Amino acid sequence: MGFWRKEGGEIARLFPSGSETAEPRPEHEEETGLLQRFKRAIARTRQTLLERFHDLTLGERELDPAVLEELEETLIATDMGPRTVMEMLERARQALDREALRDLQALRAFIQSELLAILSRTSGDQRLLTEERLRRASVRPYVILVIGVNGTGKTTTIGKLAHRLKRQGFSVLLCGADTFRAAAADQLGIWAERAGVPLIGQQPGADPAAVLFDALRSAKARRMDVVIADTAGRLHTKINLMQELQKMCRVAAREVEGAPHEVLLVLDAVTGQNGLEQARRFLEAVRVTGLILTKLDGTAKGGIVIAIAKELGLPIHYVGVGEQLDDLIEFSPEAYVRSLFEA
Ligand SMILES: Nc1nc2c(ncn2[C@@H]2O[C@H](COP(=O)(O)OP(=O)(O)OP(=O)(O)O)[C@@H](O)[C@H]2O)c(=O)[nH]1
Ligand SMILES: [Mg+2]
């Protein structure tokens, strides 16, 4: 990949050619385009629903209590969380008793509106996407920390997010504060090059907060709009990851007013429910502002979206739907819920 320049024997910088020429801002992803992308991403989950509950998606069967039993099992299999599903279907049973639900179409609409309600609990402000927040923020550079357990997709997501923000006209600087893994800087370097944005990194073993400090100084000097910092999913056992993240937050706050402006927690959809416990540890340690759910394309348990919304009480901002630069889409509760049940 090249373009590394050594400074003081320690700090390496990467400035790919044409890195700061921004392209014109595209419009928001079109509603239908987004729905299509959700449908593709959630195909395996929809397949689970279809195979196990063919009649619901086609609406060809009489609505009776046995249908609800079957549906309960099927929804639990998509990882929505047993309690959430049972509570929702209890309400459906009551509606059925009252004769408020007459057919499968009505049941489907009922489930969709229940799921939408769970996904809409967070406030509008919390749901604002990075690009919108960036537009509104007066402080530069706008600082984003990307955190999460190792292997969830932080580095990949940062590449995609950098690409997305650059396409919308923002100048982006990446910061390689994952100094735990020797190959981490190279991996981020490859994504920086793909997205056409500069990167500031450091040798493996360096203090992550010091790398962030360096990146923020550089971004200020160069009047960059946004710094996105990659962090390690784990550290050498003697160093506490949460304390390290807290230190990075302190360093950011000292350097830039109100920073970090966003702390995005990356969760892996394939890990499912098991990831929630780990997520909570991050939430206890730092002020997480939003979530990114990766690998939605790789799982038949796309119902995890519901479990996350219910259990963590934070909005999902973006969803990873593949391994390419363009495979990060904004999370749309409506598109998600429709893509689950509609052919
Ligand atoms: N299918 C699919 N794969 C993804 C997605 N996001 C990330 N991956 C893959 O997941 C693997 C791990 O991604 P990384 O970005 O290296 O994860 P990380 O969190 O940075 O990992 P550490 O640096 O080890 O903590 C890679 O093989 C990625 O290509 C996604 O949305 N869909
Ligand atoms: Mg990484």
Count Cβ atoms below 10 Å from residue 99 Cβ, excluding itself.
Answer: 7
> What was the pLDDT predicted at 124?
81
> What was the pLDDT predicted at 63?
82
Q: Measure the CA–CA gap between 326 and 321, rounded to whole angstroms.
A: 9
Distance 266 CA to ligand 1 centre (A): 10
> What was the pLDDT predicted at 154?
97
Distance 150 CA to ligand 1 centre (A): 9
Please determine, looking at this structure, whether the domain spanning 42-119 carries the CATH number 1.10.287.3510.
Answer: no
> What was the pLDDT predicted at 59?
59
Q: Measure the CA–CA gap between 187 and 180, rounded to whole angstroms.
A: 13
Q: Measure the CA–CA gap between 171 and 167, rounded to whole angstroms.
A: 9
Mutate to test the pocket of ligand 1, among 186, 231, 323, 325 (most ligand atoms within 8 A of CB): 323
| Spatial CA neighbour of 245 closest among 216, 270, 208, 190 | 208
Q: Measure the CA–CA gap between 261 and 304, rounded to whole angstroms.
A: 27
> What was the pLDDT predicted at 67?
85
**Given this structure, which CATH class describes domain 4-29+123-341?**
alpha beta
| Spatial CA neighbour of 276 closest among 263, 293, 295, 289 | 293
Sign of CA dihedral 197, 141, 167, 29: positive
Q: Measure the CA–CA gap between 79 and 53, rounded to whole angstroms.
A: 15
> What was the pLDDT predicted at 330?
96
Write phi, then psi, for 294 (nearest 5 degrees): -100, 170
CA nearest ligand 1 atom 10, residue: 153
Q: Per-domain residue ranges for the chain?
A: 4-29+123-341, 42-119
| Spatial CA neighbour of 206 closest among 236, 162, 174, 227 | 236
Q: Answer yes or no: are the C-beta atoms of 203 and 234 closer than 8 Å.
A: no
Q: Answer yes or no: are the C-beta atoms of 95 and 282 closer than 8 Å.
A: no
pLDDT by 10s per residue, the chain, length 343? 333 333 333 334 443 434 444 444 444 556 678 999 999 999 999 888 877 666 665 556 778 888 888 889 999 999 999 999 999 999 999 999 998 988 888 888 899 999 999 999 888 888 999 999 999 999 999 999 999 999 999 999 999 999 999 999 999 999 999 998 888 889 999 999 999 999 999 888 899 999 999 999 999 999 999 999 999 987 655 568 999 999 999 999 999 999 999 999 999 999 988 889 989 999 999 999 999 999 999 899 999 999 999 999 999 999 999 999 999 999 999 999 999 887 7
Query: Which residue ranges have their beta carbon within 6 Å of ligand 1?
Result: 148, 150-156, 178, 181, 184, 233, 294-295, 297-298, 320-323, 327
Ligand 1, closest atom to CA 184?
23
- Summarised one tens digit per residue, pLDDT across range 253-307 is 999 999 999 999 999 999 988 889 989 999 999 999 999 999 999 899 999 999 9
Ligand 1, closest atom to CA 156?
15
- Summarised one tens digit per residue, pLDDT across range 234-268 is 765 556 899 999 999 999 999 999 999 999 999 99
> What was the pLDDT predicted at 15?
37
Q: What is the pTM of this model?
A: 0.90
Write phi, then psi, for 114 (nearest 5 degrees): -65, -45
